[in-house]
Chain A
Amino acid sequence: MRNWICIGLLAILAGGNNSWAQTILSQAEYQPGAAHRCGLHVRSEFGTNSDAITNQFLFGFIDGRTVTESDKDKIMDRTAPLNRAGFDINNGVAFSWRGKNQAVGSGFWVSVFDRQHLNASFTDDMLEVALYGNKRFAGQEAVFDGFSLNFYRYQQAEFGIARALSPRSRVGVGLALIKGEENLEMESDFMRLYTSPLGDELRLNTLLLVNETDTTNKGFEKFNGWGTAISGFWETTLSSPKANNRVVLRLEAWDIGFINWNSNSVRYNIDTLYRYEGTEIVDIFDLQDSVFEAITADTILDELTEGASQGSYTSYLPPQLQASVRVFWKSFELWTGVHHRFTANYLPYAFAQGRYTVAKHWKVGLLAGAGGFGTANLGMDVTFESSHWMIQGGTRNLEGVISPRNFGGTNLFVQLNRYF
């Protein structure tokens, strides 16, 4: 009965004292402490990063600025033969509760999240063509091998159970049902663009596989597929729970699942050497619109995508794993670990975070990390924490704010926990 009362009090905010991990998705943070039976969790994050594209370029999407030659040069200075980029947007609410006879650390949770994820890999040549144009490749082949782009947007509802295995360890598992909204997958192991020395011929030689959901059925409320995913965690305290320097080892996994996109989806299997020498006209006096229409890429795309087939397909979500160790002192905690996202053009991400209690109820955290979609990152967060509340906001990419011309990460997160 108490559980149902808790659910009915979703709108009422109360206190809590948990922290959180390198993603707001961590279910291990949901469980109420000893003083409470249930909790309401509101979480929002936006993050994007790249080891090549800088924030200076990215901020153009906000203020419409012109990207200068110097900005482009800075981007190219950061490039490697193969580069990464990605972003995530996660917004959701969760409710957790502990049964009357359940131990601390045990309980249940339900959550609803709207999620977007994009990851991409691209060569330096591809970026150079995009930023500078193909003229500098006249007489050469621009290599786009290894290009991939994956975008998912979906909504998930998850139910999970956490169970204390002993006073020192606990385990949790969640099962999510997914409503697929939108997907685009592009994968090419071989893609070359040749520009003739005089510019009179473009040759695109590619093996490209594209899956795309119904482009006419876009929007939050649209349904284009269904799926499921599981997540879970295991946590154990390595030292005495009563010791001042408690050490906690945690293993977490998210997004082990799939989405089956419906039969309105389209697949392009492009294996072609496409040669483009301009729009062919019989009479030069038919120039007229043909010249200007040729500037657009629509006709090229139309020809490239001639062999489209319609049908359902299945996407496997990029699963995430994280192993971390947290050490708690009286006014300070240190958290270090490794996070990885498989099949997502992602490098293993190593991080270390310290959080210090600067005043009653207030903590300030600093973060350093390396890997992921970017290179190295610095972060900071501020936490307000009382017996019933935990409000936290911060960024994991201070470096992108401080020096946007040299770094590429942008991240903001906010979370609010109310325990009662």
Chain B
Amino acid sequence: MQTGYLNTFTAFMKYWRYLTVVALGMLLAWGCREAPEQPVWDVDAYLPLVTSELRLQDALEDSLIETANDSSLRLVYRGTLFSYKIDSLFTIPDTSTEEFVQLPFGTITFQPGQDIVNDTQDTRYDLDDIQLQEAIVLSGSMIVELSSTISENTIFTYTLPFVTLNGSPFTLVENVPAGSIPNPITLTRTLDLTGYTLDLRGIDRNRFNTLVTVYKATVDPNGNPVTITGGDFVRIRNTFSAIVPQYARGYFGSTIETDDSEEATDIFNSLPMGDLNVEQISLDFTIKNEAGADLQVTINELTSINTNQNTTVPLSSSLIGQQVNLNRAQEGGTNTPPIIPSVYTTSFDSSNSNVTDFVSNLPNRFGFDFTYQINPLGNVSNGNDFIYFDKGLDLELDAEIPLFLSARNLILVDTADLDVDDDSREDTDRINGGRLLLYASNHYPVDAFVQFYLLDEDFNVLDSLFAAPTFLQAGRSDVDGRVVAPSFNTLPIPLTPARINTLYASTYTVLRASLTTTDYPQPVRFFDSYFIGLTLVGDFNYRVDFPEN
């Protein structure tokens, strides 16, 4: 048996050395090889990527567009074009008053509990010809500074008997420690006046703009008698700070104010720039008086301003230059605050104004120049004018603009953020080349030349998607101008690895479209069934491999 083993072993070893060399070689080759890779190959893929329907309605806020009974579209705008807040005329200025008592010479001894000073004052505020009788504080404070050189604790009592909160008068009681002439003691307190009602009729309740204050300084009843010498003083100083009234009542005078200003508007933001003619426009202007005082308003100028095209169109109508008398608002009703405003409304269309040009200018700002007079007939309310916070004069617009228009080379420019996440690079890096096919079915009666631009973060153009602005044909219309069949357009977008890199490097995309309605200058009507159907298809040569896991 042992001999058999030996023979077997010898025979095996004879060849084993060769096998060993081969095996070691294979192991070495295997160990030194690169990590296993995967086979790759290229396929031609047709892959739908994105579908979308572009509707004019979607580009506008729901509140800005309506569908009429005949399913045509119209822009609507109901809102305040301009507000002039006249409550700012009746604020109480940041004024200070002071009670200062000083013994000029000699000495006086005061017993514990004895008043050093006890005085009541009427303080009248200068508000020109405005005569306020009552005000309720929305916000604001009073800063009270108490100073004393008395060599004993002194109790200061500061009271506003006609400034009340829930029926209780405003009162401040402070104990000022003993001081001296070289080292007077001063305490400062800031007190919130929010919600307080100010009765400004003075002590006799027949005045206006007048606040009653009671000052008192008393020797500490638990202290010692104190002798005041020449030069000793007590002082109480109060300052109203940033008082904003929630409500004010009185006579507001009969001032005349003139103002001009501009207000931004976004009503036409979604409409493109260019040669646009909008038909059958109807505008209602409403002037609303929310002040409890008669107003006489004259709109000297109302201007449609398009800062993009640097064009201005003044409104030409009977409203301009006309004195409009507005009765005072009434207190009551269910609104908050309880006001029943008085209103004046006037309507314009193309028959009584240049409203077509005014709107076709596609304003992004409105300019105003107006004059108003409060109480043109004087104090007919016997001092019962009123105003609530943030109320005054409003100019409101109620516009209905049918999308019945003609346009030529109307330029639509829209910029959007582009943030392509690098996570998708693993997929897009496999695209060897090809193109994106944008299939567009156009149901609108508008021909368009379309181009997309890719911009970097500094708005520098990096690339454009189409070699040249690409034509998107209008839908086919019937004799009534209504589109009955969409046009189908194929817009190829060459796609290369370099362009894909540009996509990742881009921060913004800009769509620039030049729009012309069919049969220009005949106006065409837009219906709610119109849309542009978009389908983006990848026509890629795509590298396929197996994911490593």
- The answer on A and B forming one complex is yes
Q: B379 CB to closest chain A CB, in angstroms?
A: 59
B46 beta carbon closer than 8 Å to chain A: yes
Q: B59 CB to closest chain A CB, in angstroms?
A: 9
B52 beta carbon closer than 8 Å to chain A: yes
| 6 additional contacts (CB under 8 A) given A277-B48, A290-B49 | A134-B45, A136-B44, A199-B539, A278-B48, A278-B49, A293-B424
User: Interface-forming stretch among B35-43, B252-260, B306-314, B336-344?
Assistant: B35-43
B420 beta carbon closer than 8 Å to chain A: yes
Contact pick for A294, options B39, B50, B421, CB 8 Å: B50
- The residue in chain B whose Cβ has the minimal distance to the Cβ of A293 is B424
- The residue in chain A whose Cβ has the minimal distance to the Cβ of B544 is A130
B149 beta carbon closer than 8 Å to chain A: no
User: Interface-forming stretch among B126-134, B516-524, B529-537?
Assistant: B529-537
Q: A64 CB to closest chain B CB, in angstroms?
A: 2
Contact across chains for B439 and A198 when beta carbons are under 8 A apart: yes
Contacting residues, chain A, for B418 (C-beta < 8 A): 287-288
Contact across chains for B52 and A131 when beta carbons are under 8 A apart: no
Contact pick for B428, options A65, A138, A295, CB 8 Å: A295
Are A61 and B43 also in contact (CB < 8 A) when A278-B535, A295-B428 are?
Answer: no
Contact pick for B37, options A63, A290, A296, CB 8 Å: A63
- The residue in chain B whose Cβ has the minimal distance to the Cβ of A199 is B46
Interface residues of A in 106-127 (CB under 8 A from B): none
Please, how many angstroms separate the alpha-carbon atoms of A378 and B52 in the complex? 57
Are A133 and B542 also in contact (CB < 8 A) when A279-B51, A287-B50, A387-B8 are?
Answer: yes
Please, how many angstroms separate the alpha-carbon atoms of A389 and B40 in the complex? 44
Q: B435 CB to closest chain A CB, in angstroms?
A: 11
Contacting residues, chain B, for A291 (C-beta < 8 A): 49-50, 536
Q: B115 CB to closest chain A CB, in angstroms?
A: 77
Number of A-B contacts (CB under 8 A): 162
Q: B12 CB to closest chain A CB, in angstroms?
A: 7
Please, how many angstroms separate the alpha-carbon atoms of A356 and B245 in the complex? 116
Contacting residues, chain B, for A276 (C-beta < 8 A): 48
Contact across chains for A285 and B8 when beta carbons are under 8 A apart: no
Contacting residues, chain B, for A294 (C-beta < 8 A): 47-50
Contact across chains for A288 and B420 when beta carbons are under 8 A apart: yes
Please, how many angstroms separate the alpha-carbon atoms of A296 and B423 in the complex? 12
Query: Chain B, interface size: which category?
Result: 35 or more
Contact across chains for B43 and A131 when beta carbons are under 8 A apart: yes
Contact across chains for B424 and A61 when beta carbons are under 8 A apart: no
Contact across chains for B52 and A284 when beta carbons are under 8 A apart: yes
Q: A400 CB to closest chain B CB, in angstroms?
A: 15
A216 beta carbon closer than 8 Å to chain B: no
Contact across chains for B416 and A360 when beta carbons are under 8 A apart: no
Q: A62 CB to closest chain B CB, in angstroms?
A: 6
Please, how many angstroms separate the alpha-carbon atoms of A174 and B536 in the complex? 61
Contact across chains for B39 and A64 when beta carbons are under 8 A apart: yes
- The residue in chain B whose Cβ has the minimal distance to the Cβ of A68 is B41
Contact across chains for A199 and B437 when beta carbons are under 8 A apart: yes
Contacting residues, chain A, for B40 (C-beta < 8 A): 60, 64-67
Q: B204 CB to closest chain A CB, in angstroms?
A: 69
A201 beta carbon closer than 8 Å to chain B: yes
A222 beta carbon closer than 8 Å to chain B: no
Please, how many angstroms separate the alpha-carbon atoms of A282 and B12 in the complex? 76
Contact across chains for A132 and B8 when beta carbons are under 8 A apart: no
Q: A416 CB to closest chain B CB, in angstroms?
A: 12
